[in-house]
């Protein structure tokens, strides 16, 4: 199995799906002649031509709407947002059109579209460019939201997203593009709505997704193992639909849950997970569901403050000790 | 601050004690652990130790006088310190049951209770704080959460707290045999008392007030046991018939743990260790030193231990822990030529065996009259705890063990 970067795995998924289905096309800022701001679309213009790899003007609302229209009439657009920070401009097309067309047409219209691009903090990009916005999208009925953390899942999930008949929000990790891990070649499809138990354990369940897995949770699990704590780590991969069964099964085993998310605490994805778990696994809980989130402030430019704003290994280790009543 | 020395309960049944001798005078320096007085209890003469460093300021109970358990008998403090006698009146007037439970801890007179509670206390409004999981485990195992100390924040009862509490009743329910490694002491567990058991206990106590006894008698053939004794003698190992009886009694209890239960107020306790009391006649009385874990000890070991305990019992030199507790008592009057008799229970034990002399008697075997060495054993049982059938099962096992003593090794 080849080791690929996260961006290469995404490129492979795009190329394979465009090869497989002539209705698939890619549109976004700088995706064609510049080969993508993050080089995800490297070589695609040369391979598939300007009719299927389209440079869009700097108008997120405009080309998001173009994509929605194309999806309505039978194409399978992949709309690249240079980052999800810019996609805020496209919210009306995503929320009011893409998410609602099937419902408002009484099922006559489908909207098989993928909006994809990087999310989360970059690295000293300050507050306007350092946002983990997945909580915004899971809020809306009609959207599926995926946030893969590894190259293999990035490939497998993007293929599933392109083949799905519903609008999919595909959030890549801006700092994950260079992450290199093994990726299965060819037809590697990861089903939407299935979490991955990355590390089995018995003492505590840690649920996370996207960059937090490799950047914070995996090192935390190792630090905890040093303390004799056996953490089970679940990578959600798919935020909506959510693999409730995987979470509940794990919590039933460990009796305690810590959710680690890069985004802000208020109405975060972890808040909904806590809600589900307290409702469906109330009698299994030996400690309150505890969340480690980004701080409820705007991201600072200074490197030390940027680090302090995001979840850290120390905070995760402390939260786990708290739910284990060790301190 | 001067501290009152209170008369500790030196045996479980001690209500008061007579100071036979003060080993320190007023004004003498004492330190924690120093013996300061000799006390005669209902069973033995024992020394009282100081629990504080300082000077023996004042003796309150003179030699030859008795004082109730828990009452102050002296003051210890700094040299020249004034003693607030009014403070002494308070613990003396207070009823003693609390002190009896904690004999080793003299209450600090008038000490402000500033120490934070070690165990987090339940919420002040009486609500028990427990995690949802702890509540579920408690409900499944019939654990009363109000009796569990919580180790979580604000005294929250969490899984690990309730699991410890749940393990015991669950084990009782399953009647799983408890395995004990030698020297290990397992705490008795409280068993729930069934409604029927309660009624049996109440009705029988009406008819036979106190502890309602019942009696079961068996006659056992002791030829094999005597042979075992002779063989041991040939190996220069001295063991007595009584040692064999003690060992068999213990092993039978291990196999019938129902015998190892006791009434404790309104609770039924299941003991796990098998400790056999051996009644020893002493001058103007009787005492029952206990052979701990007799089921796990060899005959020679039991022989040596019983002999040593009996010797010290005769000198009234036994420590309370050597004659308290126990699963069952063996009372053997065989050496006095008594054929059979009935023993009175040794509370709180639920069974006692009255063992008679081994005597050659004509018995019928395979339709023939033959001479065999017979021994009569009468079990007295606490009918509140055990019933005739349980006692009979127990005696059946005891018979098998004594008539075929090879089984003692199995």
What confidence tens digit (pLDDT) does each residue in B28-78 have? 888 888 889 988 877 777 888 887 888 888 888 888 888 888 888 888 888
Output the six-digit token pair for B132: 């949802």
Give the tens place of pLDDT for each residue, A185-224. 989 999 999 999 999 999 999 999 999 999 999 999 999 9
Output the six-digit token pair for A92: 């009306």
Give the tens place of pLDDT for each residue, B288-313. 999 999 999 999 999 999 999 999 98
Output the six-digit token pair for A172: 């890549």
Average pLDDT (B222-244) is: 91
CA dihedral A186, A192, A195, A196 (to 10 degrees): 0
The kind and range of the H/E element at B277 are strand B276-278
B159 touches chain A (CB under 8 A): yes
User: Taking every pair of C-alpha atoms in chain A, what is the biggest distance, in angstroms?
Assistant: 61
Q: Which residue has the tokens 């490297």?
A: A42
For chain A, give the percent of residues with pLDDT over 90: 98
Q: How far apart are CA A42 and CA A130, in angstroms?
A: 24
Nearest to A287 among B131, B135, B136 (CB): B131
Evaluate whether A2-183 and A196-322 have a shared fold. yes
> DSSP letter string over B89-109?
HHHHHS-SHHHHH-TT-PPPT
**Higher per-residue confidence, B69 vs A300:** A300
Among A131-135, A258-262, A314-318, B102-106, the least confident range: B102-106
| pLDDT band with cut points at 50, 70 and 90 for residue B86 | low
Output the six-digit token pair for A139: 């809020």
Asked if the model's pLDDT at residue A295 lies above 90, the reply is yes
Which residues of chain B does A282 touch, with a Cβ-Cβ cutoff of 8 Å?
132
DSSP annotation of A120: B
Average pLDDT (B94-104) is: 40
User: Ramachandran region of residue B367, left (φ > 0), alpha (ψ -120 to 50) or beta?
Assistant: left
Average pLDDT (B69-98) is: 64
Average pLDDT (A4-16) is: 98
Q: Look at residue B264 in the predicted model and tell me its pLDDT.
A: 84
Alpha helices in B102-240 (DSSP H): 132-141, 159-174, 195-207, 223-234
The kind and range of the H/E element at A62 are helix A60-72
Mutate: best of A248, A286, A287, A321, partner B, most B CBs <10 A? A286
Nearest to B158 among A282, A284, A286 (CB): A286
Domain ranges across chain A: 2-183, 196-322
* Residue contact B131–A286, C-beta within 8 A: yes
DSSP annotation of B191: E
Average pLDDT (A90-118) is: 97
Residue B371: C-alpha distances to residues B115, B221, B355, B363 (Å): 73, 10, 20, 6
- Of B374, B216, B240, give the one whose Cα is nearest residue B305: B240
Q: Look at residue A318 in the predicted model and tell me its pLDDT.
A: 97
A327 touches chain B (CB under 8 A): no
* Residue contact B160–A325, C-beta within 8 A: yes
Q: How far apart are CA B113 and CA B117, in angstroms?
A: 9
B134 touches chain A (CB under 8 A): yes
| pLDDT band with cut points at 50, 70 and 90 for residue B116 | very low
Cis bond leading into A109, ω under 30°? Answer: no
Average pLDDT (B322-336) is: 92
CATH of span B3-101: 2.40.50.100
Q: Look at residue B121 in the predicted model and tell me its pLDDT.
A: 43
**Higher per-residue confidence, B84 vs B24:** B24
Which residues of chain A does B133 touch, with a Cβ-Cβ cutoff of 8 Å?
255, 283-286
B136 touches chain A (CB under 8 A): yes
Which residues of chain B does A283 touch, with a Cβ-Cβ cutoff of 8 Å?
132-133, 135-136
Average pLDDT (B237-252) is: 93
**Higher per-residue confidence, A9 vs B35:** A9
Q: For residue A178, what are the contacts with CB-CB under 8 A and spacing of at least 6? A: A5, A6, A7
User: Ramachandran region of residue B210, left (φ > 0), alpha (ψ -120 to 50) or beta?
Assistant: left
Which listed CATH number (2.102.10.10, 3.30.390.30, 4.10.320.10, 1.10.630.10) goes with B119-175? 4.10.320.10
Asked if the model's pLDDT at residue A6 lies above 80, the reply is yes
Q: How far apart are CA B307 and CA A321, in angstroms?
A: 56
Residue B292: C-alpha distances to residues B44, B247, B268, B277, B337 (Å): 20, 11, 21, 8, 28
Catalytic residue numbers of A, as ranges = 60, 129
| pLDDT band with cut points at 50, 70 and 90 for residue B97 | very low
Q: How far apart are CA B18 and CA B21, in angstroms?
A: 9
CATH superfamily ID and name for B195-409: Chloramphenicol acetyltransferase-like domain (3.30.559.10)
Nearest CA-CA distance, residue B163 and chain A, Å? 12
Bridging pattern class, strands B66-68 and B16-22: antiparallel
Output the six-digit token pair for B216: 């079961």
* Residue contact A285–B133, C-beta within 8 A: yes
Among B8-22, B190-204, B251-265, the least confident range: B190-204
CATH of span A2-183: 3.40.50.970
Asked if the model's pLDDT at residue B125 lies above 70, the reply is no
In a 13 Å sphere around the CA of A92, the CA atoms on its Cβ side amount to: 8
* Residue contact A287–B158, C-beta within 8 A: yes
For chain B, give the percent of residues with pLDDT over 90: 38
Residue A133's Cβ-count burial label (10 Å; 0-12, 13-18, 19+) is middle
**Higher per-residue confidence, B203 vs B252:** B252
Beta bridge partners of B16: B68
* Top-ranked range on mean pLDDT: pick from A305-309, B145-149, B319-323: A305-309
- Of A145, A167, A100, A173, give the one whose Cα is nearest residue A268: A145
Q: For residue B299, what are the contacts with CB-CB under 8 A and spacing of at least 6? A: B232, B237, B239, B243, B244, B247, B408
Q: How far apart are CA A260 and CA A209, in angstroms?
A: 8
* Residue contact A287–B132, C-beta within 8 A: no
| pLDDT band with cut points at 50, 70 and 90 for residue B105 | very low
User: Taking every pair of C-alpha atoms in chain B, what is the biggest distance, in angstroms?
Assistant: 88
Residue A250: C-alpha distances to residues A147, A199, A268, A322, B206 (Å): 20, 11, 21, 18, 57
Give the tens place of pLDDT for each residue, A221-273. 999 999 999 999 999 999 999 999 999 999 999 999 999 999 999 999 999 99
* Fold for the domain defined by A196-322: Rossmann fold (3.40.50)
Which residues of chain A does B132 touch, with a Cβ-Cβ cutoff of 8 Å?
282-286
DSSP annotation of B32: T
* Residue contact B153–A325, C-beta within 8 A: yes
Domain ranges across chain B: 3-101, 119-175, 195-409
Asked if the model's pLDDT at residue B96 lies above 50, the reply is no
Q: Look at residue B172 in the predicted model and tell me its pLDDT.
A: 41
A285 touches chain B (CB under 8 A): yes
For chain A, give the percent of residues with pLDDT over 70: 100
pTM over 0.80: no
State the Cα angle at B220 between B219 and B225, rounded to 5°: 155
**Higher per-residue confidence, A326 vs A270:** A270
* Residue contact A325–B134, C-beta within 8 A: no
| pLDDT band with cut points at 50, 70 and 90 for residue B167 | low
B282 touches chain A (CB under 8 A): no
ipTM of the complex: 0.76
Which residues of chain B does A205 touch, with a Cβ-Cβ cutoff of 8 Å?
none
Asked if the model's pLDDT at residue B106 lies above 60, the reply is no
Asked whether the beta carbons of B75 and B4 are under 8 A apart, the reply is yes
* Residue contact A286–B133, C-beta within 8 A: yes
Average pLDDT (B332-338) is: 91
Which residues of chain B does A287 touch, with a Cβ-Cβ cutoff of 8 Å?
131, 152, 158
Average pLDDT (A108-135) is: 96
| pLDDT band with cut points at 50, 70 and 90 for residue B197 | confident
B139 touches chain A (CB under 8 A): no
A279 touches chain B (CB under 8 A): no
Q: Look at residue B180 in the predicted model and tell me its pLDDT.
A: 73
Q: Which residue has the tokens 């929000």?
A: A169
Mutate: best of B120, B131, B153, B164, partner A, most A CBs <10 A? B131
Q: Look at residue B204 in the predicted model and tell me its pLDDT.
A: 76
Average pLDDT (A174-192) is: 96
């Amino acid at each position: 199995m080849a080791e690929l970067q996260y961006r290469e795995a995404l490129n492979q998924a795009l190329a394979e799906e465009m090869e497989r289905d002539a209705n698939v096309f890619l549109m976004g800022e700088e995706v064609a002649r510049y080969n993508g701001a993050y080089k995800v679309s490297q070589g695609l213009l040369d391979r598939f031509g300007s009719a299927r790899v389209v440079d869009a003007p700097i108008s997120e609302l405009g080309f998001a709407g173009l994509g929605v229209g194309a999806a309505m009439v039978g194409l399978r657009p992949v709309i690249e947002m240079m980052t999800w920070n810019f996609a805020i401009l496209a919210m009306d097309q995503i929320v009011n059109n893409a998410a609602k067309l099937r419902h408002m047409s009484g099922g006559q219209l489908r909207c098989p579209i993928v909006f994809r691009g990087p999310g989360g903090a970059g690295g000293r990009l300050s507050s306007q460019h350092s946002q983990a916005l997945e909580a915004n999208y899971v809020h809306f009925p009609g959207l599926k939201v995926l946030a893969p953390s590894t190259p293999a899942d990035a490939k497998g999930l993007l293929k599933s997203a392109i083949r799905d008949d519903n609008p999919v929000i595909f959030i890549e990790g801006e700092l994950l593009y260079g992450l290199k891990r093994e990726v299965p070649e060819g037809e590697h499809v990861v089903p939407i709505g299935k979490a991955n138990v990355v590390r089995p354990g018995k003492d505590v369940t840690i649920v996370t997704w996207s960059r937090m897995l490799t950047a914070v949770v995996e090192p935390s699990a190792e630090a905890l193992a040093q303390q004799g704590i056996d953490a089970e780590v679940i990578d959600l991969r798919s935020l909506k639909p959510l693999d409730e069964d995987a979470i509940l099964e794990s919590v039933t085993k460990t009796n305690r849950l810590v959710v680690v998310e890069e985004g802000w605490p208020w109405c975060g994805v972890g808040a909904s997970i806590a809600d589900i778990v307290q409702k469906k696994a109330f009698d299994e809980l030996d400690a309150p569901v505890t969340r480690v989130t980004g701080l409820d402030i705007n991201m600072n430019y200074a490197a030390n403050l940027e680090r302090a704003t995001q979840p850290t290994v120390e905070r995760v280790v402390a939260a786990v000790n708290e739910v284990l009543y060790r301190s | 601050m001067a501290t009152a020395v209170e008369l500790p309960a030196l045996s479980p049944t001690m209500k008061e004690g007579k100071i036979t001798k003060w080993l320190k005078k007023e004004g003498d320096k004492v330190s924690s652990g120093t013996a300061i007085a000799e006390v005669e209890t209902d069973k033995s003469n024992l020394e009282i130790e100081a629990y504080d460093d300082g000077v023996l300021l004042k003796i309150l109970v003179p030699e030859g006088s008795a004082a109730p358990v828990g009452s102050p008998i002296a003051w210890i403090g700094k040299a020249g310190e004034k003693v607030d006698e009014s403070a002494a009146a308070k613990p003396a007037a207070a009823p003693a049951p609390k002190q009896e439970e904690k004999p080793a801890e003299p209450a600090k007179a008038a000490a402000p209770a500033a120490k934070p509670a070690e165990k987090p206390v339940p919420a002040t409004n009486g609500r028990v704080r427990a995690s949802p999981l702890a509540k579920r485990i408690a409900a499944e195992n019939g654990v009363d959460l109000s009796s569990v100390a919580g180790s979580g924040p604000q005294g929250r009862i969490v899984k690990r707290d309730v699991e410890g509490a749940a393990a015991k009743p669950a084990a009782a329910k399953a009647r799983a045999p408890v395995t004990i490694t030698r020297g290990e002491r397992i705490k008795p567990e409280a068993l729930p008392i069934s409604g029927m058991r309660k009624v049996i206990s109440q009705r029988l106590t009406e008819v036979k007030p106190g502890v309602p006894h019942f009696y079961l008698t068996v006659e056992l053939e002791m030829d094999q046991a005597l042979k075992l004794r002779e063989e041991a003698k040939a190996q220069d190992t001295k063991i007595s018939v009584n040692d064999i009886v003690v060992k068999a009694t213990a092993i039978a209890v291990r196999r019938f743990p129902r015998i190892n239960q006791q009434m404790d107020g309104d609770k039924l306790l299941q003991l796990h260790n098998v400790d056999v009391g051996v009644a020893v006649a002493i001058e103007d009385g009787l005492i029952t030193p206990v052979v701990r874990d007799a089921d796990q000890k060899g005959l020679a070991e039991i022989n040596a231990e019983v002999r040593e305990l009996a010797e010290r019992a005769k000198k009234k030199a036994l420590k309370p822990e050597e004659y308290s507790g126990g699963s069952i008592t063996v009372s053997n009057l065989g050496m006095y030529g008594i054929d059979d008799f009935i023993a009175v229970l040794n509370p709180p034990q639920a069974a006692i065996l009255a063992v008679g002399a081994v005597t050659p008697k004509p018995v019928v075997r395979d339709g023939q009259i033959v001479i065999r060495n017979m021994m009569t054993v009468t079990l007295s049982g606490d009918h509140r705890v055990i019933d005739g059938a349980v006692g009979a099962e127990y005696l059946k096992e005891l018979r098998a063990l004594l008539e075929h003593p090879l089984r003692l090794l199995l």
